[in-house]
């Protein structure tokens, strides 16, 4: 059986790996073993943070809504509770967007909810 040389495939694989490690620091971009480890770890961080991103965005929305609603004399928790009791279904992302871009609409919503909460 003839001998099979795999140097071309290995070189191609290593070149691919090092191309993906471009931008890493020190030996993590030049040494194949270190680059492999770095890419595995980067993949773990990316996987974890794709899930954490949703959590972080929700937290930011709540902070924005709370700040906007407090300008009208309500807290976030009482505002959301009153909205739920009235059956107004506007999600936090939309409320946050209203707080940033359409303060007049949010103000009317807060007044409507506050009037019914009393």
**Confidence check: pLDDT of 83 > 90:** yes
When the pLDDT of each residue in the chain is averaged and rounded to a whole number, the result is: 95
Q: Is residue 1 part of a domain?
A: no
Number of domains in the chain: 1
What is the extent of the structural domain holding 85? Answer: 7-117
pLDDT tens digits for range 48-80: 999 999 999 999 999 999 999 999 999 999 999
Query: Residue 54 is part of a domain; what is its CATH number?
Result: 1.10.1900.20
Is 82 contained in some domain? yes
Angle at 19 between CA 13 and CA 23, to 5 degrees: 150
Q: Is 45 domain-assigned?
A: yes
- Residue 2 domain-assigned (yes or no): no
Where residue 5 falls (left for φ over 0; alpha for ψ -120 to 50; beta otherwise) is beta
């Amino acid at each position: 059986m003839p001998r099979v040389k795999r140097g071309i495939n290995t070189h191609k694989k290593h070149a691919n790996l090092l191309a993906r490690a471009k931008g890493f620091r020190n030996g993590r971009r030049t040494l194949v073993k270190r680059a492999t480890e770095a890419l595995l770890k980067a993949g773990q961080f990316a996987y974890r943070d794709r899930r954490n991103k949703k959590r972080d965005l929700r937290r930011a929305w709540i902070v924005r809504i709370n700040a906007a609603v407090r300008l009208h004399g309500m807290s976030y928790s009482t505002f959301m509770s009153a909205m739920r009791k009235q059956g107004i279904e506007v999600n936090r992302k939309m409320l946050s967007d209203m707080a940033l871009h359409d303060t007049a609409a949010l103000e009317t919503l807060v007044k409507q909810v506050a009037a019914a909460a009393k």
